[in-house]
């Protein structure tokens, strides 16, 4: 698998420049605190990464777009027991694309 930062760079070149974070029932744009709820965004790509030195350390990079808000960005989340807390609806939206 390609390194996570290399994949982020490739996505940034394609316009995925916003950084998102999970916050319970939505994802939040870190730059302007815009909240996107599951029905307001699309997951365009999903990439999994695993640290070679720690096989339990796995993360997922989501390429996300929102035509409603005219933005594209990325969300990086741990996988499994280390994943961030989110509502069932948000987890289902993210899980559909794993």
The answer to whether 98 touches 46, Cβ cutoff 8 Å, is: yes
Question: Which residues in 35-58 are b (16+ Cβ under 10 Å) and which e?
Answer: ebebeebebeeebebeeeeeeeee
| Neighbour tally for 14: CB within 10 Å | 11
Tokens at 79, concatenated = 């996988």
Each residue's pLDDT expressed in tens, for the chain with a length of 98 residues: 445 578 889 999 999 999 999 888 889 997 888 999 999 999 999 888 876 655 556 788 999 999 999 999 999 887 654 455 665 677 677 777 55
Q: Are strands 71-78 and 18-23 parallel, antiparallel or unpaired?
A: parallel
């Amino acid at each position: 698998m390609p390194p996570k930062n290399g994949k982020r760079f490739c996505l940034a070149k394609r316009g995925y420049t916003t950084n998102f974070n999970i916050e319970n029932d939505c994802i939040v744009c870190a730059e302007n605190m815009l909240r996107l709820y599951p029905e307001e965004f699309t997951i365009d790509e999903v990439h999994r990464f695993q640290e070679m030195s720690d096989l339990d350390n796995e993360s997922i990079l989501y390429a996300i777009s929102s035509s409603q808000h005219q933005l594209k960005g990325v969300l990086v989340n741990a996988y499994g027991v280390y994943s961030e807390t989110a509502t069932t609806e948000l987890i289902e939206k993210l899980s559909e694309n794993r």
